Every structure is written in C-alpha cells, then in structure tokens.
Structure 1
Amino acid sequence: METGGNGPPKPIWNIVMVSAIAAGIQFGWALQLSLLTPYVQTLGVPHVWAAFIWLCGPISGLLVQPIVGYFSDHCTSRIGRRRPFIAAGACLVAMAVFFVGFAKDIGHRAGDSLDNPTKPRAVAVFVTGFWILDVANNMLQGPCRAFLADLSGSDHKRMRIANGWFSFFMAIGNVLGYAAGSYSNLYKLLPFTTTTACDVYCANLKTCFIIDIVFLLSVTITAITTVKETPLKSNGSLDEGEGGSSEPFIGEIVTAFKTLKKPMWILLLVTCLNWIAWFPFLLYDTDWVGVEVFGGKVNGSSREQKLYDDGVRAGALGLMINSIVLAFMSLGLEPVSRLIGGVKNLWGVVNFILAAGLAGTVWITKVAEAWRAKQGPQILTSPPTNVKSFALAVFGLLGIPLSVSFFSFFPLPPIKRKEKTY
C-alpha cells in the first residue's frame, strides 16, 4: 500500500481523530479474543475445531490487505483514497457482529433445537459473520494506517507520532472491550437481548457487540467527516502533487523480496516465529483460565459451567490489565528504547519476556492442577488467590512484548540506514 507523500504534514488533531478509529476496531477485536472461543463451544463446536474458525484472521490478512491496499492507492473517489474503504469496512463490521451476536437466535428461528447441544444453523450463521468480521477488520486497518501516513506527509517523526497514537487507541479499545467482556451484568442495559435461545452469557455477548457497533460507527463517522482527504485524479496523481509509484503492488512485493538483505530475512523470520507464539495465547487465553486455572468445563455440570464462566471473566480482566500495560508502553517505547541502547535491543529483550510469560502459563497450569488434586475431585471451587494473581500477572507481563509486536517495524530503520536498502 502506497503511503505518505510529498505534501506538508497535517495538524496533529487530524492524526488523533483518524487514530481514534483504532479504538473502535480494537474494541471488537477484544470481544472476539475474550469471548468468542468460549461462545462457539456453546454452539456445539468441539474445542479442537474452534481454532480452524480463527484461520480466517491470517488468511484474510494475507489476501485482503494487499488487495484493499492496491485499490485504495488507485481509488479516484472525490472523497479521497482511504475514506471510502474505511466507511465500507465499518459498515461490514456492523453487519458481521450482528450475525455473530444473534447467531443463536437466528439459528433457533431457522430450526435449531434448544435440547440439542449442537446447533448447526447457529454455527453456520456464526462462522459466516465471523469470517466477514475478520475481512472487514483487515479492510479497516490497512486504509487507516495508510491514511495516517498520508496525513504525516514526508515527516518521519510525525509518522512515528501517528503510529504511537494509533497503538495508544488500540490499547484504549482493548481496555474497553475486555472490561465489557468481564462484566457479567451488562445485558441488563439491554434486557431484550435475553431470549428463549439466548441465556445470560449469550445476552452479555450480544450487548457487547451492540455497543461495539455504536462505538465503531461513531468514531468512524466523526473521523471521516472532520478530516479531509486529498482526492486522487483519474490520471493517478494527487491534487497536491503527492505522487506514488505506478508499479503494480505485486511487482512492488516481488522487487522488495529480491532486494532484501540477510538481516531483513532474519528479522522477518523472528517476526514470524513471534506471531506463531502469540496466536495460541491470543485465541485461547480466556479459555485457558476457564479450563486449566479454574477447572471448569463448557458442557459439564452446572458447577463446572459456573467455574468456566468465572474463569472466562477473570481472563477478560487479565486481558484488560494487559491492555493497560500496552497503552502505557505504547506511549513510552521511544524513550525506553533509547534507555536500553536502541530499538533492536528493545525488540530482543521483549522476545525473551514473551518466552518467559508463555512458560509461566505452563507453571500456573501445573500449580492449579496440583491444588485441585489436593482438594479432591468432589470439591469444585475457584483456585486460591495466589494462583489467580499469578495468572493475572502473566497477562500484565505479556502486555510489554505485545506493545512492541504492534510496532515490529521499529527495528527496520537501523537496518535500512546501515545497508542503505531493504
């Protein structure tokens, strides 16, 4: 995606307004990560198959963002290159979360039995909405970041400030989303969400997604109506002379890979391994707390289901703590990196922190299992305070490497300066 330009940078308030869209995007992502893995299991999808539904994230990111980026770069709409895609993405998100949140109700009206633990029609609606949601999120994020680069002009410092604000609002959205997901009585704000097919847990999820729709559309409409964009002329040039490469984006990717040097290949490999490590935690974190830490089961006895729900909410609280740490780290990455000798050192250190945090989840699981074995199989109760505290501490600790993972391009400038090319 072509970003930036030769024009002067726009005022900071423009950057802040566009960055605020990230809060709306991440509010929905937070709900996805904290609530949907447990929720899909209540529809009858086995635990081992839940991960396959999440494949849409990396697949849509791989396919949708380059395609959207290409058409956004060449969009000649009179309202600009980025705003049409941002508006379309927000509308798609609203439609998708409606399908996800109301999957049980739609499935029940379509013929799903309340007595059958497997609800195939609800699963079909959920998966359709879920995949649309991932596509829409990717459709939103790429043009938003490109819009920030356009607003920053050729000022690299302004671009770093823009990315800082974007990451900060991502953290704000995370905090709000995880806070909403951890509150068990949110459905009382919208009593109509409780139906024959939808219990309290489901009603809470529906209420969260309705709030998400209102929040995302509000920040998106505010940003695209108050921040003006220079349109692209039909001949491919900007009105203010901000040109970009006319080479097709596939050609740009091929050219970039041909010129990559060894340090960049190593960086890309470590980034790949970094996200391989992140995804299991991001997908199963609340489920891990519900099953492994609290000892609950999705389809167990009423007491086991209660423990599982308590664990999921505790996990959502942990994710909120994670996001608070991420928010503070996002605004302090540059001074911290200078303090420890540069962004490359920072990136290396946080990868070791990530490894330590993930290893901590294994230790906490073993401690919780040992405590339950000591209590006996007949006693089903929440884990002791120290176990829950350690679990929440791991969530908070992992906020440090996650903030840097969102800024994984930071190590690139030193390598570029050293080798003069990517």
Structure 2
Amino acid sequence: MATSVVASTDSRAKPRLSFWQIWNMSFGFLGIQFGFALQNANVSRIFETLGAKPDELAFFWLAAPLTGLLVQPIIGYLSDRTWSPRWGRRRPYFTIGAILASAALLVMPNASTLWMAVGTLWLMDSSINISMEPFRALVGDLLPDEQRTMGFAAQTFFIGIGAVVASLLPYLFTNYFDVSNTAGAGEIPPSVRYSFYLGGAAFLGAVLWTVFRTREYPPADLAAFEEEKRQTAGFANGLRESFAGIFNMPKTMKQLAIVQFFSWLALFSMWIYTTQAVTAHIYHTSDTTSKLYNEGADWVGVCFAVYNGVSAIAALLLPFLARATSRRVTHMLCLVLGGLGLISVYFIQSPGMLLLSMVGVGVAWASILSVPYAMLAGALPANKMGYYMGVFNFFIVIPQVVAGLILGWCTKHLFHDESVYTLVLGGFSMILSGLLTLRVHDADDVPATVEPAALSNPAYDSPLETDPRL
C-alpha cells in the first residue's frame, strides 16, 4: 500500500511525492469525469429526445453554470476554513459532492419531462463542481512547486481515462451487450440509462478511493487557524469575499481568466452542439426516434472518447514540451490544434474522419485541464488556494452563461439552425485563446518546473529544491 500523503497550506517545505501518492490523490478525478463525460456527450441528446429545439439547447444548459457561480467560490472559501482531524480539509467536500452527483446520474436518464431533465442537470453539474474544485486545490496543498505541473497532468490523465470509458458506454452497450439504443418518442434509450447507472457507481467509488487513501496535514498553528475561521465565518461573508475576489486577483490570474473565457466558450459550443451538428450535417437527420439519428448520437460518444483518450496520452507529454519551451508556448500550440480540429468538422462528410478532428481537440483538452492551473498555483497565496481556485472557476462558468445566452441565437438567426457553424465559431474562439496565452505572466516561465522521471519512481522522495525554477 502506498504511504499516505499530507497537505500543508502554510509555509512549511513540501516534500516531493512518490508515484503512488500522486496516483491516490488524483484517482478521484476518474469518477468525476465519468459524470462530466456522460453529461457532455448525452444531455443534449436527452433534451432533444424530450422535445427541445436546436436553438433552445444552449439556454437549457444555463441553470448549471448560474449555480456554479455560487457553488465553486463558496466551496473553495469554506474548504480553506475547514479542518477535521478525521476528514481533513478538502475531503469532506469530495464526499458530499460525490454522493449528490451519483444520485443525479441515476435520476437523469429517468426524466419524464424536459424541465425535469433541466433541473437534474442543475443538480448534477453543481454536485460535480462541489467535488471538483477541492481536487484542484489539493494539488496546490500537497505538491511542491516543481511537481505541480505533473500533479495537474496526473489529474488530466485520469480525466482522460474516465471520459474515454464513460463516453463509449452507450456505444458499447449497444454493440457488445445487445442493449437497444432506440426508444419510443419522449423516452430515453436503455443504452443511455444503463450508462448513467454505471457512471453513478464509478463516480462514488473513485472519489471514495481518494478520500480513504489520502491524508492532509492540520494547519501549522491550529489556534490561529481557528481564530481566523471564527472571524471570517458565515455564508454571507464567504459570498461577499468570493465575488470580491474577482477584483483582487493576482496579475497572472487576470491574464489567465481571459484565456479561460475563450477556450471554455469553445468547449461549451462543442459539448452543446456536437450531437445536433453531427446528426444533421453528416447523418442528415433530426428525427430523434430514428435508428440513423441514434447511430450518429452514439458516434458522438465515440468521438468524445477519442478526444479524451488523446488527452490522457497528451497529458503525460505536456511536461516534456513545457520543459523544452515554456508553459505559455505549450498552451498556445495545444489550443491552436484544438481550434483547427473544431473548424475541420465543417469540411467532413464521413463519420470516421471526425476522429482526426478529435485528435486536435484532445490535445487542447489536455492542456486546458492542466497548464493554466499549473501557472496559476505558483501565483496564489497558500492559505487561499481553495478560495482562488474557486474564483478562477468563474471563468469557466461565465463563458457557459454567455454560451447559453448567445449561441442559441447565433445558431437560429445567423446560422439558420445549422449547428456545424456553431462548432466553427468555437474553433476560432479556441485559437484566439491560444494567442492570448502569450500575454500571460508565468512566474516559472523558464524551462518548466517538472522532472517527469520522478513520477515513475515510487521510491523517489527527495527534499524540496530551493530554486523555484527547478
């Protein structure tokens, strides 16, 4: 069994962690991504099955990000001020979020009306975020500066593996277990329902693995911690400080916020409109009860599995590329590849060729999930890691709100319900975000901070180097 890991949010030197320590602290993301992948690949399909029109899809996704504007920074604020000798600082939030998200995954494929599905999406997305934000902060808590890029890359690896399996589930159930992928009007196909059931179990199990295999240090001065917590306690105070954080962000965080906005706007255009774009542009049908439509929707799951699989591999290579160039250049190159991948969908008529488009998207996704957080962690005060990670999530949520407000209008009035043009718009947004990355100030913007070989050696546990550039 691997030794336990411990977290410090103070100035104490943090030891380098072994392979199994990083594995255990990151494993929960495998389950979290089961939830996100099933949501991203299937919720628009569920909405369309229950009667949503193409221009309404983005609007129906709005409830979740609006809630996220409150959930993420509040959870970060509260987790910074939480300590339990048994459960630690971040782990209580992992557990609560996993239980709620798993319940929502069981309910979603049994929604009988469109508004029931929209409400369940709200619960699901909020609950997933309750688990996800403390996982981001945990890397800042546990790892020394020179291992943070690798820590976020390890999370990205598990995100990729979880998303590959979850995205493939409807296709696998239909093609290998003889489960039907069609149903009557207004009914969710059995293959989708069984996928959500399995996803709920995987979500809870993976998060509990991290909860029980990872340990956190108490604050260095517990009395001072308790006094600070007493003085800053309260939901209202947390809400006020969370939104004030937007105006007090470090310089690097402000610059990354703009990059995040355009990259996540592109991602939401993809998640919301790929099913409709592929079924209409390539399979030439919008009849949700037809075999052809459901074959196209299943193929979208395969495409999403491919980009997530690529991201899992790319995540292991990013530290090498960042060390050879810089994190800024690495992120820029990855986002440009992702943007070109989205734009290329317009020129494709064969389903198989979509997999090539997804390679570029997968490289971008790997970088989006790791490089900005690695740059950000080095610019944040240790005792507010969770708080600022929560505030940083605004710039994932805000583009989703913008997507919900404008993409439906663009799809209907500018693109005349041809959703493939919405994907092209997302591609240009991703390329713009890549170019904006070159403006970001990275405190460690020298050959990057990671020694990837250390992760492959479980026995490696040397003291923290004194030079933050190493």
TM-score (normalizing by structure 2): 0.69
> Counterpart of 1:215?
202
Aligned-partner Cα distance in 2 for 1:316–1:287: 13
Q: 1:409 aligns with which of 373, 392, 398?
A: 373
> Counterpart of 1:98?
106
Aligned-partner Cα distance in 1 for 2:146–2:354: 38
Larger RCO: Structure 1 or Structure 2 (Cα < 8 Å, ≥ 6 residues apart)? 2
Is residue 73 of structure 1 aligned with residue 118 of structure 2? no
What is the SS of the residue equivalent to 1:75? coil
How many correspondences in the alignment? 365
Residue type at the aligned position of 1:81 = R
Aligned-partner Cα distance in 2 for 1:396–1:58: 27
Q: 1:400 aligns with which of 339, 363, 369?
A: 363
What is the SS of the residue equivalent to 2:225? coil
8 Å CA contact 1:93, 1:133 repeated in 2: yes
Aligned-partner Cα distance in 2 for 1:196–1:362: 31
What is the SS of the residue equivalent to 1:179? helix
How do 1:15-414 residues align onto structure 2 when only pairs under 5 Å count?
A: 15-78=22-85, 79-104=87-112, 122-152=113-143, 155-185=144-174, 202-231=189-218, 235=223, 237=225, 251=241, 254=244, 257-258=247-248, 260-261=250-251, 265-299=254-288, 305-339=290-324, 341-364=325-348, 368=349, 387-407=350-370, 408-410=372-374
Q: Which moved more, 1:122-131 or 1:29-38?
A: 122-131
8 Å CA contact 2:27, 2:209 repeated in 1: no
Q: Deviations over 1:61-96 (max 9, x none)?
A: 322110011111112333211111111001001111
Larger radius of gyration, structure 1 or 2? Answer: 1
Residue type at the aligned position of 1:27 = F
Aligned-partner Cα distance in 2 for 1:398–1:259: 29
Aligned-partner Cα distance in 2 for 1:140–1:160: 21
CA drift of 1:4 comes to: 3.9
Aligned-partner Cα distance in 2 for 1:190–1:14: 39
Residue type at the aligned position of 1:409 = Y
Counting aligned pairs with the same residue, the percent is: 24
CA drift of 1:131 comes to: 0.6
8 Å CA contact 1:35, 1:181 repeated in 2: no
> Counterpart of 1:110?
none
Residue type at the aligned position of 1:83 = R
* Root mean square deviation of aligned Cα: 3.3
8 Å CA contact 1:186, 1:204 repeated in 2: no
Q: Deviations over 1:342-392 (max 9, x none)?
A: 22222222232233222212222xxx4xxxxxxxxxxxxxxxxxx223222
Residue type at the aligned position of 2:356 = A
Q: Which moved more, 1:265-274 or 1:179-188?
A: 179-188
8 Å CA contact 1:72, 1:85 repeated in 2: yes
8 Å CA contact 2:27, 2:155 repeated in 1: yes
Identify unmatched segments of 5+ residues in structure 1.
105-121, 369-386
Aligned-partner Cα distance in 1 for 2:249–2:186: 55
Q: Which moved more, 1:54-63 or 1:67-76?
A: 54-63
Aligned-partner Cα distance in 2 for 1:405–1:363: 25
> Counterpart of 2:466?
none
Q: Which moved more, 1:327-336 or 1:284-293?
A: 284-293
Aligned-partner Cα distance in 2 for 1:68–1:43: 33
CA drift of 1:317 comes to: 1.0
8 Å CA contact 2:54, 2:276 repeated in 1: no
8 Å CA contact 2:338, 2:362 repeated in 1: no
Aligned-partner Cα distance in 1 for 2:328–2:211: 36
- Are the structure 2 counterparts of residues 189 and 159 from structure 1 closer, same or farther at C-alpha, using a change threshold of 3 Å? farther
CA drift of 1:234 comes to: 6.8
Q: Deviations over 1:232-270 (max 9, x none)?
A: 6874539xxxx9x97976558747745754x76454323
Residue type at the aligned position of 2:303 = G
Identify unmatched segments of 5+ residues in structure 2.
1-6, 379-439, 446-470
Q: Deviations over 1:190-247 (max 9, x none)?
A: 99x9999986x52111111111122122222222122223346874539xxxx9x979
8 Å CA contact 2:337, 2:361 repeated in 1: yes
Q: Deviations over 1:41-76 (max 9, x none)?
A: 111222221212212343233221100111111123
